[in-house]
């Protein structure tokens, strides 16, 4: 089977999973955006996905992402939203604002400042989601602690060229993904009570997207279920 056919079949399977999960809780499948995480895969796969109608692609490393996006022509990128979902260092965050439309992994004030400066320098507007650390005990995966979430939300709301769009999380290892996503939905509500426009919840990956959609996810981030197992770099 050609790579395009393989991607098409996997995409169809994932779209069916999304639709099934949404309908099972009475949600419109159209409320859930599929962000295909293309990290470690070549730009040709990104092109194939765009040809198949994918409108949201995500990357998690600045260098890899900026190279791949530079390889796409403006015409190829037209209508595609680029999400950055990886951990950021403050010295890289400004650079991400050169090409990302959405940065989902903002987890501290230093990153907000660096992104805002980069967005101003590149004259671009960038949507922001706040990555929440749902278990507070796994610092390697990033995320703002729940106690600091509202302060961080305010700093994004106050920044020029950044728009606060919502929250993002990765389910803690071990434990029930549904419980984690229920907690995230609660936190999303807390943020939205202060910032009504911040109505997005990015949760769920290949293994747990159903649980995320049941708990209100508006964005799922799916890599391996569409692209296959990631090659090691």
Ligand X SMILES: *Cc1c(COP(=O)(O)O)cnc(C)c1O
- Binding segment toward ligand X, per CB under 6 A, in 117-125, 149-157, 183-191, 205-213: 205-213
Q: Which of 14, 18, 32, 37 binds ligand X (CB under 6 A)?
A: 37
Residue 54 structure tokens? 């994918």
Q: Does 39 bind ligand X (CB under 6 A)?
A: yes
Backbone angles phi, psi at 108, to 5 degrees: -160, 160
Q: Does 180 bind ligand X (CB under 6 A)?
A: no
Q: Does 56 bind ligand X (CB under 6 A)?
A: no
Q: Can you tell me whether residue 6 is helix, strand or coil?
A: helix
- Binding segment toward ligand X, per CB under 6 A, in 17-25, 65-73, 92-100, 218-226: 218-226
Give the number of C-alpha atoms closer than 13 A to the C-alpha of residue 52, restricted to the C-beta side. Answer: 23
8 Å CB contact between 219 and 202: yes
Number of residues that bind ligand X (CB under 6 A): 14
Q: Quote the CA–CA distance of 115 and 176 in Å, as a whole number.
A: 33
Nearest to 148 by CA among 111, 120, 199: 111
Q: Quote the CA–CA distance of 24 and 168 in Å, as a whole number.
A: 22
Give, as ranges, the residues between 85 and 114 that touch ligand X (CB under 6 A): 85-86
Q: Which of 7, 170, 201, 217 binds ligand X (CB under 6 A)?
A: 170
Q: Does 177 bind ligand X (CB under 6 A)?
A: no
Which residues bind to ligand X, rule: CB under 6 A? 37, 39, 60, 85-86, 170, 205-207, 221-225
């Amino acid at each position: 089977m050609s790579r395009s056919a393989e991607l098409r079949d996997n995409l169809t399977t994932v779209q069916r999973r999304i639709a099934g999960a949404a309908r099972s809780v009475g949600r419109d499948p159209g409320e859930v955006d599929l962000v295909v995480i293309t990290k470690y895969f070549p730009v040709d796969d990104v092109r194939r996905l765009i040809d198949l109608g994918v409108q949201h692609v995500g990357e998690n490393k600045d260098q890899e992402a900026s190279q791949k996006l530079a390889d796409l022509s403006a015409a190829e990128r037209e209508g595609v939203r680029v999400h950055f979902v990886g951990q950021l260092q403050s010295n890289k965050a400004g650079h991400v604002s050169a090409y990302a439309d959405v940065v989902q992994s903002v987890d501290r004030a230093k990153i907000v400042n660096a992104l805002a400066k980069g967005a101003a320098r590149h004259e671009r507007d960038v949507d922001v989601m706040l990555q929440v650390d749902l278990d507070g005990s796994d610092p390697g995966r990033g995320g703002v602690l729940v106690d600091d979430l509202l302060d961080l939300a305010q700093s994004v709301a106050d920044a020029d060229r950044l728009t606060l769009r919502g929250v993002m999380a990765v389910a803690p290892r071990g434990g029930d993904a549904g419980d984690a996503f229920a907690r995230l939905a609660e936190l999303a509500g807390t943020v939205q009570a202060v910032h009504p426009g911040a109505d997005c919840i990015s949760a769920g990956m290949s293994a747990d997207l159903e649980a995320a959609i049941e708990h209100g996810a508006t964005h799922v981030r799916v890599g391996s279920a569409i692209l296959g197992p990631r090659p090691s770099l």
